Each structure stands twice: as structure tokens, then as C-alpha cells.
Amino acid sequence: MIANAADNSVMDDWLGRNLRRATSAVFNNFGEEFAQFKIRPALFAVLTLIESHPGSSGARLSELLEIPRANMVLLLRELEQRHLIEREPDPANRRAHIVLLTPQGAALMPKLHAAQARHNEHTERWMTPEERRFLIALLQRIWRRAGEIEPGL
Amino acid sequence: MIANAADNSVMDDWLGRNLRRATSAVFNNFGEEFAQFKIRPALFAVLTLIESHPGSSGARLSELLEIPRANMVLLLRELEQRHLIEREPDPANRRAHIVLLTPQGAALMPKLHAAQARHNEHTERWMTPEERRFLIALLQRIWRRAGEIEPGL
DNA sequence: TATTGTTATACTCTATAACTATA
DNA sequence: TATAGTTATAGAGTATAACAATA
């Protein structure tokens, strides 16, 4: 009865639970930092991708982000309605659109990158560069392994 | 144009994105391993909690799992309808219920723990014990820091 | 036949407000 | 006033099927 929420020591060793809670904590801080811009993680990823790959098609962007095309459509529509991106017909392929940042969108990017820097500072301040590299490397091994055939025993 | 999905090197350094993808990979494997039992991660956590804290109330379980009470209600209802748990009125507190595993639920637990062992083997086989400890410690620092007041600068 | 954009849909997780009965 | 269980609801993320226009 005196037990508190910290006595579930077994579950605190579960990798999946620790991953989920860490993800939630990081995304919550992202939300606080980006709330003033009404930009969610997925929107920031798409904007950053368009900034570094201007003129890509929606299908190409969905490949790069590794999300279904149908979901990219929703994100691009939202960004277009907010006048942060524009879609032009691609003269070389009349099925496709060319996606670009509007001047408004381009002007917003430096503010978003600054918010990201504050977000990183908040969530990573207590990590050494070595710890961060090690953490990222382990996380990448986890999700990259998942797409592979059964690893050799 | 020759670029593939692996050329988004900048985003591959984002902590939040790596956390989300690693979480997704681990939970996808969990889903494959537990599909035969139709048990999702949240259901497994609740069953494990009831096993280690038999007779707790729903409110107590939601505290231990750190999820809203309203969500615990849905999980307990599902488990009760599947005859894996039972809820009795608490004679000492007529607002509360006592939650227990049914014989069926208790009989299922060893199979679930075996599935968890296979799941862990699959997702952690390539990690050394030291790497795993370090990873868990870093993840816990991330979600524990999030609940704290602003750390001293 | 395959690709692009799109609509519709569905499922899960997470979170909050508000009600009731009990304390 | 506070707690336990509950209902209803809403938002976001994720995923698939299917269609029209185009290649």
C-alpha cells in the first residue's frame, strides 16, 4: 500500500516500454517547442525534406520519409492550405506534381530550425556527444535490423 | 534522381525520429510474436501487473502503469470479456474492485512470458549485455528527465 | 501493366471532460 | 471534497484498398 508508481521494477527493464516512454517524452517536448508554429513532427519532417529536396513529387517525398503515399497527401494538403508549400503540375510527367516551399514557408524554416535546436538542447543537454552517438547507433541498429531477413544465428 | 530512401542523412540523426522508428520496429515484432494470443503490448503489461500485484484496484493499476484511469477501464473490460481476469467488489471499499487473474488467465501467463523471451531474443540478440544496460539507462534518463522541473543550467 | 495522386476507411494509442456512487 | 469506475469523445499516427488519370 505504501508502494508507489516506481515499484514496477520488472517493466522498467522492458526495452519496448522504455522506448515508447522515451519517444513520448521527446515528442512531448517537441510539441511544446513547436506549439507556437502549430507544427507537428510529421509536418516538420515534410517541410525539412522539401527544403532539402525542392521540386520532388509527392510520391518521392513519401519514399524518402518512408510513409504511405496516402498519408503524404494529407500532410501536403495541410501545408498547402496553410500557404507553406505549393504544388505545380510537372510538365515532364502529367501525373506528378512538383512540390516547393512558398516564400512564406521558406521564411518559416529558420524559425523551425531554431526551435529544433532548442528542443535538442532540452532533450540532449545531459548526454555527452559519445553517449548520443552510441544511442543513435543502437536505435538505428534496432530499426534497420527489423527490415532485414532473419539475421544469421 | 538516383537517390534512394537512404539519402535523408540529416533526419537519420534526429533523436525523436530514431526513437519512433526503433519503437515501431520493436512493437511490430511484439505483435508478430503475440499475434497467436491476440495480446497487444498494453494488455500484456496489464496482465503482468495483475500477476505481480494481485487484488489491486483498477485505479491502482492505472497508477502503476501510468496511464489514465479511463484507458485502464477499456483494457480491463476487454480482459474480463475474454475471461482472463475477473473483478470482484472490494468489501473494504464499495467504490473499488479487486482485480485478479482467472485460472484461464493464470494458465496463459507462462505462454506469454515465453513469447516475451522469444521477442527479446529477436530484438536484443545482437546487443551485448553492456550495450543493453547502457541503452536502457539512457532511455530511462530521457523519460525521467521529462517529468522533472527544468534542470539547473 | 505500373505509377501518381487521391478518397475513404479503419485501427490503435493517448488524453480529457464529465457523470455516478461512494468515501 | 476527494476517490473509483465509467462513458463519451477527440486527436494523432499508421495502414490498406480502390479508383482515375497518366505513363
Max Cα distance, chain A (Å): 70
Check whether residue A68 has its CB closer than 7 Å to nucleic acid strand D.
yes
Q: Which pLDDT value is given to residue A147?
A: 65
Residues of B 97-116 whose CB lies less than 7 Å from any atom of strand C: none
Mean pLDDT of A72-86: 97
Q: Is B134 helix (H, G, I), strand (E, B) or coil?
A: helix
Per the listing, cell 514496477 goes with A8
Strand (E) or helix (H) holding A88: strand A85-90
For the cut 70, the answer to whether the pLDDT of residue A71 exceeds it is yes
Mutation site for A-interface testing, chosen from B26, B49, B67 by largest number of A Cβ within 10 Å: B26
**In the 8-state DSSP scheme, what is residue A37?**
G
Q: Which pLDDT value is given to residue A102?
A: 98
Q: Which pLDDT value is given to residue A41?
A: 97
pLDDT digits (tens, 9 = 90+) for B89-114: 999 999 999 999 999 999 999 999 99
CB of A95 closer than 8 Å to CB of A85? no
Q: Which pLDDT value is given to residue B151?
A: 42
Instruction: Please report which confidence band the pLDDT of residue A3 belongs to, taking 50, 70 and 90 as the band edges.
Output: very low
The CA angle B41-B44-B48, to the nearest 5 degrees, is 140
The predicted model scores a pTM of 0.92
Mutation site for A-interface testing, chosen from B11, B23, B128 by largest number of A Cβ within 10 Å: B23
What region, left, alpha or beta, does residue A97 occupy, with left being phi > 0 and alpha being psi -120 to 50 degrees?
beta
Q: Which pLDDT value is given to residue A30?
A: 97
Cell of A75: 500532410
Q: Which pLDDT value is given to residue A106?
A: 98
Check whether residue B89 has its CB closer than 7 Å to nucleic acid strand C.
no
Distance from CA of A97 to the nearest CA of B (A): 15
Tell me which residue in A5, A12, A64 faces B140 most closely, judged by beta carbons.
Answer: A12
What tens-digit pLDDT sequence spans chain B (153 residues)?
A: 334 444 557 999 999 999 999 999 999 999 999 999 999 999 999 999 999 999 999 999 999 999 999 999 999 999 999 999 999 999 999 999 999 999 999 999 999 999 999 999 999 999 999 999 999 999 999 999 876 655 433
Cell of A79: 501545408
For the cut 70, the answer to whether the pLDDT of residue A1 exceeds it is no
For the cut 80, the answer to whether the pLDDT of residue A8 exceeds it is no
Report chain B residues whose CB lies below 8 A from the CB of A20: 23, 27, 41
**Residue B96 phi, psi dihedral angles, 5° rounding:** -95, 165
For the cut 80, the answer to whether the pLDDT of residue A26 exceeds it is yes
**In the 8-state DSSP scheme, what is residue A57?**
-
Tell me which residue in A21, A53, A146 faces B25 most closely, judged by beta carbons.
Answer: A146
Q: How many CA atoms lie within 13 A of B104 on its CB side?
A: 9
For the cut 50, the answer to whether the pLDDT of residue A151 exceeds it is no
Percentage of chain A surpassing pLDDT 70?
Answer: 90
